[in-house]
Amino acid sequence: MWQLTRIELYKIFKKPRTYIAFAAIGLIILLIQLAMYADGETYLEFMLQNINAAFDIEGKKLNGFFVFYLILHTLLVHVPLLICLVAGDAVAGEAAMGTLRLLVAKPISRTRLLLSKFIASSIYTLLLLTFMAVLGLLGSVALFGVSDLMVQKSDMFILLDKSDVLWRYAAAYGFAALSMMTVASLAFLFSVFADNAIGPIIGAMSVVIVATILTTMDIPVFNALKPFLFTNHMLNWKGFFDRPVDVREVLKSALVLLAHIVLFVSLAIAFFRKKDVLS
């Protein structure tokens, strides 16, 4: 299986489009860091105007942990779209190139073949997140230093001690990995049905965009839908920045995401096993 996965990884990293996501993420992170470095204090004043009216906040408010938190907020909504680029291409890309028929003619079970493709897509997803974490966290810490982390919610202001922050980022990374693998598995499922990569990429992106919009719109009629939208559970990485962490809520969302991954990959395998591969 590892041999197959390595071949799939080779294919992924041979394509220039794979690096679009790394370049885009790197650029966004650098732009945010640059903007914060140049005018972060003004941004902070705006963010804290409500609390500044009644409280004096002393200390290094603009610090690496805060900037990385801001980066995560901005990026974790958009990274799913970049992941679709690779996961949506996994099977459909082969079909488009005409190599899929050749591939399934090999003495390897379709299940193993598909699983290796999914594992390779997941590794790509993890590498992308790791790249984001390293550049975002280490870069921000190097530029802004460390201090306590201020987390602002609509009705609560949370201050986390700097010694209490890193494990939260590690846990949020694990949760984000689960979220992004859910998106990858959706794009992967769509990829099984198409003969060119554009369809599954756009299809998965559309589902993520529509579900994200439904998640973010605060309209009662949509609120009933939200518990069933995986995009709603994807936002629960923020749960690790509560004090105390609502473990039950975070765990519930993690399980929902895990169930989605299992469902999407199982469906992909089930359909692919019966698929009449003509291209």
Partner 1 sequence: MKYGLLFAGLFVASVAVAQKEEALLQRVRAKMEKVNDYTAEGRMKLDVSFINAPASKVTVYYKKPDRFKVKKAGGISILPKGGVSVNVNALLAGGSYQTVPGGTSTVNGVATTVVKLIPTDEASDVVLSVLHVDEKEAVIRKAVVTTKESGTYEILLNYGAYTAWGLPDKVVFTFNTKDYKLPKGITFEYEKGGEKKVEEKAKSKKGTVEITYASYAINKGVDEKNFR
Candidate residues 2, 16, 42, 53; the one interacting with partner 1 per rule CB under 8 A: 53
Q: With CA atoms as reference, report the closest residue to 72 among 229, 144, 177, 208.
A: 177
Which residue's CB is nearer to partner 1, number 5 or number 232?
A: 232
Indicate whether 271 belongs to the interface with partner 1 (CB under 8 A). Answer: no
> For residue 107, what are its two tokens?
């003495």
**Residue-level length of the chain:** 279
Shortest distance (Å) from residue 214 CB to partner 1 = 9
**Cβ(184)–Cβ(122) under 8 Å?**
yes
x/- map, 142-171, partner 1, by CB under 8 A: ----xxx-x-xxxxxxxxxxx-x-------
Size of the site for partner 1 (CB under 8 A): 42
Shortest distance (Å) from residue 161 CB to partner 1 = 5
Candidate residues 55, 102, 142, 166; the one interacting with partner 1 per rule CB under 8 A: 55
Residues 30 and 140: their CA atoms lie apart, in Å, by 9
Shortest distance (Å) from residue 174 CB to partner 1 = 20
Contacts 24+ apart (CB under 8 A), 10-19: 11/120, 12/86, 12/120, 12/121, 12/124, 15/89, 15/93, 17/85, 17/86, 17/89, 18/85, 18/86, 18/124
Span interacting with partner 1, options 2-10, 102-110, 191-199, 217-225, rule CB under 8 A: 217-225
The residues near 210 (Cβ < 8 Å, ≥ 6 apart) are none
What burial class does residue 185 get, using C-beta atoms within 10 Å of its C-beta: 0-12 exposed, 13-18 middle, 19+ buried? buried
Render 19-53 in DSSP notation, one character per residue: HHHHHHHHHHHHHHHHHHHHHHHHHHHHHTHHHHT
- As a whole number of angstroms, the longest Cα–Cα distance in the chain is 71
Shortest distance (Å) from residue 259 CB to partner 1 = 16
The backbone torsions φ and ψ at residue 88, rounded to the nearest 5 degrees and listed phi first, read -70, -20
Indicate whether 215 belongs to the interface with partner 1 (CB under 8 A). Answer: yes
Span interacting with partner 1, options 28-36, 57-65, 108-116, 185-193, rule CB under 8 A: 57-65
Residues 247 and 149: their CA atoms lie apart, in Å, by 20
Which residue's CB is nearer to partner 1, number 108 or number 160?
A: 160
Span interacting with partner 1, options 49-57, 106-114, 172-180, 194-202, rule CB under 8 A: 49-57
Indicate whether 210 belongs to the interface with partner 1 (CB under 8 A). Answer: no
Indicate whether 50 belongs to the interface with partner 1 (CB under 8 A). Answer: yes
Indicate whether 238 belongs to the interface with partner 1 (CB under 8 A). Answer: yes
Shortest distance (Å) from residue 157 CB to partner 1 = 5
CA distance to 207, 222, 274, per residue, from 213 (Å): 10, 10, 34
Indicate whether 73 belongs to the interface with partner 1 (CB under 8 A). Answer: yes
Residues lying near partner 1 in the complex (CB under 8 A): 47, 50-51, 53-61, 73, 146-148, 150, 152-162, 164, 215-216, 218, 222-227, 232, 235, 238, 243
